[in-house]
Amino acid sequence: MLKTTRQVKALGLSSGGLDSILAALILKDQDIDVTWISFETPFFDAEAAKKASKQTGIPLIVKDITEAFMEMMKAPKAGFGKNMNPCMDCHALMFAEAGAMMAEIGADFLFSGEVVGQRPKSQTKNSLRYVEKNCGFEGLILRPLSAGLLPETIAEQKGLVDRRGLLSISGRSRKAQAALAEKYGITAYPSPAGGCLLTNKGYSQRLRDLLYVQKTQSKTQLHLLKYGRHFRLDSRSKLVVGRNQAENKRIMDLYDPQTHIRLRCTHLPGPDALVFGQTDETVLHLAATITSGYTKAPAGALTTISVFQKQETKEIEVVAPESGAFHNLLIQTP
């Protein structure tokens, strides 16, 4: 290998999964100083990566890329997958963001735990090539688990990495990774299913409604897509109703009294509910009626719903509906 005056350093994308862990450990075996970076948006977080960092001692950088991600979501070059998942352009964006940090931390190249053929759309040779060409760091992305099946990277050509110590894993079988995990003593790691909400059909339907009907990219509303029942009241307004105590808490954590309208039945057990967008008395009455249907009030009973709007509080009296009366307004649940 090429003699250098300092230790070779690499910056790797980490999902926190086994492949990410193994890729880093393979490079550490070559005395390469590895650091991970993991990204967060309302659609995925870095929790698994944080656990992997704690388990292995590999330093982790966490960065929120919501703004750049939503800009990419407007028109991903490679399109969407089965749902609202722009996997190839998502990976390209992540490598672009990681590449922009290489100089800052003194890294020589980028790496990931991607395996050729493991995912039918995003991890084919053509897909991996697409990501390299579109991230702006062509030739600088090393994939240690499948490097033997891919062209040499600049790091290998310069002798910063010994190609003989890299692997040639392909396909969806996990046997090779399981054997490596045993070798390295890695016993705790998440399943390879992934944690991106954009692959979820119900969540994707809610996201389409938010982007194309409500026409907003509000970060708060993006986070709220994960919780409660969502009702499309009209093209300008939406109602979110908590399904249980835990969701009520999540919804209220995201509540902004300056921009959201809160509804709650104060004399009977029931959910917290929020209305977003432009409203009028008709819309608020509809929202209050739907909310009353999830209280302990029997169908047909007069129910009072308190409405908290900025600095004002008022009460709306509605008739509690039959179960499922407004199912046609319900946006699919994840």
pLDDT of res. 48? 94
CA distance 131 to 76: 12
Is 3 a domain residue? no
pLDDT of res. 6? 84
Tokens of 294: 């999830």
Is 317 a domain residue? yes
CA distance 137 to 287: 50
pLDDT of res. 187? 87
Could you tell me if 190 and 211 lie in one domain?
A: no
Tokens of 291: 């909310």
244 Cβ neighbours under 8 A, 6+ residues apart: none
What's the whole-number mean pLDDT along residues 253-258? 95
Residue 129 in this model has a pLDDT that exceeds 50? yes
pLDDT level of residue 83 (50, 70, 90 thresholds)? very high
What's the whole-number mean pLDDT along residues 22-35? 98
pLDDT of res. 332? 76
Three-state SS for 232?
strand
Could you tell me if 102 and 238 lie in one domain?
A: no
Could you tell me if 170 and 75 lie in one domain?
A: yes
pLDDT of res. 334? 59
**Pick from 309, 246, 240, 247: nearest CA to 273:** 240
Amino acid type, 26: I
CA distance 127 to 161: 23
Could you tell me if 147 and 241 lie in one domain?
A: no
What's the whole-number mean pLDDT along residues 126-145? 97
Percent pLDDT > 70 in the chain is 97
Percent pLDDT > 90 in the chain is 92
Give this prediction's pTM.
Answer: 0.91
What's the whole-number mean pLDDT along residues 290-302? 97
What's the whole-number mean pLDDT along residues 256-279? 95
Residue 128 in this model has a pLDDT that exceeds 60? yes
Is 327 a domain residue? yes
The domain boundary residue, chosen from 145, 168, 195: 195
pLDDT of res. 1? 47
Which residues are paired to 234 by β-bridges?
237
Is residue 142 within 8 Å of residue 10, measured between CB atoms?
yes
The domain boundary residue, chosen from 195, 230, 262: 195
Could you tell me if 109 and 230 lie in one domain?
A: no
pLDDT level of residue 3 (50, 70, 90 thresholds)? very low
Structural domain boundaries enclosing 97: 9-195
Could you tell me if 177 and 241 lie in one domain?
A: no
Write the pLDDT tens digit of every residue in 54-65.
999 999 999 999
pLDDT level of residue 4 (50, 70, 90 thresholds)? low
Angle, CA of 200, 13 and 67, to the nearest 5° = 60
Could you tell me if 78 and 189 lie in one domain?
A: yes
pLDDT of res. 119? 81
Average pLDDT of the chain? 94
**Pick from 268, 310, 264: nearest CA to 287:** 264
